[in-house]
Structure 1
């Protein structure tokens, strides 16, 4: 069992097979496009927000206490890999969320805050703002701060701060966004 769990790709593949097994074993007759899209939206959303919280609750507050000679371990190896999954999980969460709303017939109603769709619309707009923040502010600035693109020391420092503030903004927005997303299906419209 240890060999299986040592390989992340194998773990993900087995998890996917088990999830499909649950779908087919318990609800094969009820599996719809909407069910699959919701499952994928939640999976990628957890990945995105989990990494957002990792950066804000662990990495950013811990970096000042890491000895200078050890910081390259984070900035050259951990952060770029985490940012890869972070930005692509954001993109997939947004894309699949929009497809889910379209599949369920409320995309326009939610995005235009029609009565009964204001809560999910608010959640969607917060998610879209956060996603654009990832791709338009955080990632371009992190590339400079981490030295993935050429930048002088002053630019790196300024970019690190801009990326951190944008990330903290996303953390702030994630709290009401998660409420809106999680509550839409449960609350009366």
Structure 2
């Protein structure tokens, strides 16, 4: 099995993991901001002592790992699509890479593209 075939198999897996982790991360962010804050403000002291130690460690665990896996799968997708260039919609150089020119030097526009992408996100 060649390297590009391997990356074409990894690409949809990484995309779906990225989507699932991102939905988990953003969904829990909305939970913390819009639901938990309002509900916690209405609870009395005894209820908070029972609910918060049980609920918060579980939700923070999933929030932390949702954010981490979103970032990790995003870097994997960035490598597959941009740096490797095998799935870059035909915009590749002679060697199949989007980040390097045909003589092997790094293309300045590729760095600008990656920088703008990180700033936009």
TM bucket normalised to smaller: 0.5 to 0.7
Following superposition, the deviation at residue 122 of structure 1 comes to 2.1
Gaps of 5+ in 2: 1-7, 85-98, 100-106
Do structure 1's residue 47 and structure 2's residue 47 form an aligned pair? no
Structure of higher CA gyration radius: 2
| 1:101 aligned residue | 78
| Kept after mapping to 2: 8 A contact 1:113/1:121 | no
1:87 alignment partner in structure 2: 64
CA distance in structure 2 between the aligned counterparts of 1:116 and 1:96, rounded to whole angstroms:
16
Check if 1:69 corresponds to 2:46: yes
For residues 98-177 of structure 1, the aligned pairs below 5 Å read: 98-106=75-83, 114-115=112-113, 118=116, 120-123=117-120, 177=121
Q: Which runs of 5+ in 1 are unaligned?
A: 1-30, 124-176, 178-189
User: How many residues of Structure 1 are paired with residues of Structure 2 in the alignment?
Assistant: 91
Q: Distance in 1 between matches of 2:51 and 2:118?
A: 37
**TM-score, structure 2 as length reference:** 0.64
Higher helix share: 1
TM-aligned CA distance change 1:117 to 1:63, over 3 Å: same
Q: Which has the higher contact order (CA 8 A, sep 6+)?
A: 2
Shift of 1:117: 6.6
The 4+ residue runs of structure 1 with deviation greater than 6 A are none
User: In structure 1, how many angstroms separate the alpha carbons of the residues matched to 2:19 and 2:50?
Assistant: 31
TM-score, normalised to structure 1, is: 0.43
CA shift for structure 1 position 67 = 1.4
